Amino acid sequence: MYDRDWTDDDIKEFNKNKDQFLINRKNLTIDFDVVLGKGASSTVQKGFLKGRSPLLNLEDSLKCQQYQDCDVAVKVASTLGQIEATRWMQEIEAIKRLGYNEYIVSDFGLCCDLDRDTLTYQASLTKRLPIKWLSIEALTERRFSEKSDVWSFGILMYEMFSLGKEPYVSLQNHEIISFLSHGNRLERFEEVPDKINQIMGSCWENDSAQRPTFENLILQFRNILEESTKSYGYVQ
């Protein structure tokens, strides 16, 4: 379980579902002749479990979720890359392609047309923007490009692989610019593969030129998905 700021609602939810982590006594055999350790008030004996540990089942479920998230990430990155290639940020039909079954990434209120020469968009100071999903240059200069979209895609990855955790949950909106300007970023997760953490971190490079393109992101995620299936075994 990753480190996080637990709210009262989180604790209540965990207590409500904690039984799923307990081992059924019928499946547990204790060898009282084998003592593993003694304490001031208790003794630890060796035990044998019939079947699988509930935690292993949970771990398998999380791994499955991670690869489902990779699949979603490929689809989102692919669509964003197509839109970037066509340069039509106000084309409604292109925006609709962001919807894939129940996975939808869209906000028509934020649609804008890029400058055809610089491929950037300069937002006015009065435009309302979703602070927690913006790149550092969008926050400080109101400057948007494909690479600022890549930053936002990294935030989407954070939400998916944290199973819905809110980004910058411990920060107020006015604190985020200072937080990012000092080189800080959202935390990485021990439970996800290193490659996922590396991709996510690359989306938040301070220098936008160092961030990957959507085309590159698609290749990286497809490689991860292909690697995950190698252990399945296939008939030659």
Tokens 């890359």 belong to 81
Looking at 17-31, 68-82, 140-154, which range is the least confident one? 68-82
Residues 6+ apart with CB under 8 A from 111: 89, 90, 95
CATH topology of domain 55-228: Transferase(Phosphotransferase); domain 1 (1.10.510)
Element (DSSP H or E) covering residue 29:
strand 28-38
Q: Is the pLDDT confidence value at 78 over 80?
A: no
pLDDT band at residue 214 using 50, 70 and 90 as cut-offs: confident
Least confident of 26-30, 70-74, 156-160: 70-74
Residue, of 201 and 107, whose pLDDT is higher: 201
pLDDT value at 148 more than 70: yes
The pTM of the full predicted model, rounded to 2 decimals, is 0.55
Strands 121-122 and 143-144: antiparallel
The answer to whether 31 touches 48, Cβ cutoff 8 Å, is: yes
Q: What are phi and psi of 36, to 5 degrees?
A: -90, -25
Residue 235's pLDDT is 47
* CB contact at 8 A, 123 and 89: no
Report residue 178's pLDDT band, with 50, 70 and 90 as the boundaries: very high
Instruction: State the pLDDT confidence band at 219, using cuts at 50, 70 and 90.
Output: confident
Mean predicted confidence (pLDDT) in 133-153: 87
Could you state, in order of their start, the residue ranges of all structural domains in the chain? 8-49, 55-228
Average pLDDT over residues 130-159: 87
Mean pLDDT of 61-74: 53
Q: What does the mean pLDDT of the chain come to?
A: 69
Residue 51, pLDDT > 60, answer: no
Average pLDDT rounded to a whole number, residues 11-30: 64
